[in-house]
Amino acid sequence: MKYTLTLAFLLALQCGFCSNQKNEKKNNPTKALIDSNNSLLWQISGNGLKQSSYLFGTIHIIPEEDYFLGKNVQKKMKQSSLLVMELDLSNVNIAAISELSVLDSGKTIQSYMSDSDFATLQAFMFDTLGIDQQVFNLFYSRLNPFFLEQLIFLNHVGPEKESYEINLKSIAENNKIPQSGLETMEEQLQFLKDVPIEIQLKNILNTIRNYSSETATLDTLVDAYKKQDLTYLNKAFEAEEDTSWKENLLDKRNKNWIPKIKDFITKQACFIAVGAGHLGGENGLIALLRKEGYTVEPLPIN
């Protein structure tokens, strides 16, 4: 299951679903699992730093009913001098993102599929998702398979959605906290282009043919996020049959981010918010920062 929505693509398609001011009032319905070293919020200190910075794991899109933002998360955010996310959302060209999300040279997904596989895709989009054929032909069929698969999962999330990144951006703006990013949208989307289209097609067909079990897995991942269970989330990524997804979307990007994070936290107190899948594991940001000599400790989110 490849529910690894990129922040760039989320921005292109989901801004209209997300609210701004109400979200600071929401609280985490669960307690932090500090005793098991699992948390969504981590403090970075030591190694010559003059001030601590904070690392927070997000989920780019989540059903509104499952959204929470702990009081301690908000406190550390407001105490920081810079909000750092995967992308600087204050400087994003949405039109350019949308352009990068479509197939090259005006092709459609039918150009890359057998007749039987394309018929399977069409039947799923029309019958299961209720997509109009004309809308499918004009829009959905022109998307890279990865992005089309993300839209399938977004449909399962439902109409009422929340985005941690957009809400954190709002908090930063309300408190006059500057923002920056760890990569550009072009860099983020390039990692997807490195995944062969044959693999993307294989995965979207697997999602369609196993829709019930795939969406059940997504629900389990959301539940693990609510429990702050980084161990489970990391195991879910490790269990992916095709390792190129994890290598391109997590491991390579984590290693690219470390020098940038070091530069940011040396200069000022930062609140760094990235997808929770980037935190755990031997190639996760927590382990990589510890290898660089920093003390990285879990904090309660409330």
Query: Mean pLDDT across the stretch 29-41?
Result: 63
pLDDT per position as a tens digit, 137-183: 999 999 989 889 888 888 888 888 888 998 999 999 999 999 999 99
pLDDT per position as a tens digit, 250-285: 888 999 999 999 999 999 999 999 999 899 999 999
Q: How does residue 6 score in pLDDT terms, banded at 50, 70 and 90?
A: low
* pLDDT higher than 60, residue 20: no
Greater model confidence, 1 or 146:
146
41 SS3 class: strand
Q: Is the dihedral of CA 137, 142, 147, 148 positive or negative?
A: positive
CA distance to 107, 109, 133, 154, per residue, from 130 (Å): 23, 19, 9, 14
pLDDT per position as a tens digit, 39-90: 999 999 999 999 999 999 998 888 899 999 999 999 999 999 999 999 888 7
For strand 53-58 and strand 270-275, is the pairing parallel, antiparallel, or unpaired? parallel
Q: Residue 52: which of 302, 289, 291 has the closest Cα?
A: 289
What is the enclosing helix (H) or strand (E) of 286?
A: helix 285-291
Q: How far apart are CA 40 and CA 56, in angstroms?
A: 5
How far, in whole angstroms, is CA 116 from its chain's centroid?
Answer: 32
Would you list the domain boundaries of the chain?
7-102+143-299
Q: What is the pTM of this model?
A: 0.85
pLDDT at 241: 61
- Of the CA atoms within 13 Å of residue 46, those in its CB half-sphere come to 11
Q: How far apart are CA 136 and CA 231, in angstroms?
A: 38
Extract the tokens encoding 7.
Answer: 């922040």
Under 8 Å between Cβ of 14 and 8: no
